[in-house]
Amino acid sequence: MWHWISKIILKIIGWKNVDHIPKDVKKYIVVVAPHTSYWDFPIGILSRSYLKRKIGFIAKAEVFKFPFGPILKWMGGIPVDRSKKSNLVDVVKDLFNSRSELAICIAPEGTRKKVRRLKTGFYHMALEANVPITLCTFDFKNKTVTYHKPYYVSENKEEAIAKIWKFFSGVEGKVPEQGIG
């Protein structure tokens, strides 16, 4: 049912989806950019529902308290306790190791504001959990969400992050001046 509701809403607002993730890929990290607006979240939820993808997201445990907690969990939210001195990379690695299927979405800017560099947590998560990443663009200019083909990151972090930065450069978010590049 949510697939059809999402399809109708996206059609009304003029958005398209392009999905290059093979159906046999069961574990991956979706690296989505540019993240420039609160609108990214509902567009992402609609897109994932339209494509029938179970893509979750991680967030600090505090936001999962009543009344929003049950709703966020239902939407695919995974609470992470940041009050402990736990390493988020290890927490995510353990999540991937404990499940036969898992996809989580991460915005590498870590904010909706303009950044000069990407945060690299997603890179370490993918490397440590031995899962591919899928770059996902939220192109507000063309009203298109594209999930690109998954790939495993290289051991050379600087090179990998530079390629990802270049890939996202020029993709126009809701607030273009906050985008990458």
pLDDT at 145: 97
Alpha-helix runs per DSSP H in the chain: 2-13, 40-50, 69-74, 88-97, 121-129, 157-168
- The predicted pLDDT at position 86 comes to 67
Spatial separation of the C-alpha atoms in residues 176 and 173, rounded to whole Å: 5
Predicted confidence at residue 111, as pLDDT, reads: 85
Residues 150, 25 contacting (CB under 8 angstroms): yes
Residues 152 and 86: their CA atoms lie apart, in Å, by 25
At residue 181, the pLDDT reads 79
Is 141 buried (19+), middle (13-18) or exposed (0-12) by CB count in 10 A? exposed
Q: What is the pLDDT of residue 83?
A: 65
* Distance separating alpha carbons of residues 127 and 69, to the nearest angstrom: 30
pLDDT at 61: 84
Instruction: For residue 67, say if its preceding peptide bond is cis, omega within 30 degrees of 0.
Output: yes
Domain boundaries, the chain: 2-175
CA-to-CA separations, 92 to 59, 86, 121, in angstroms, rounded: 11, 11, 10
Mean pLDDT by 10 residues, the chain (181 residues): 93 96 96 94 94 90 89 90 75 93 93 90 95 97 97 95 94 92 79
Strands (E), 111-155: 133-139, 144-147
- pTM of the predicted model, to two decimals? 0.91
pLDDT of the residue at 6: 95
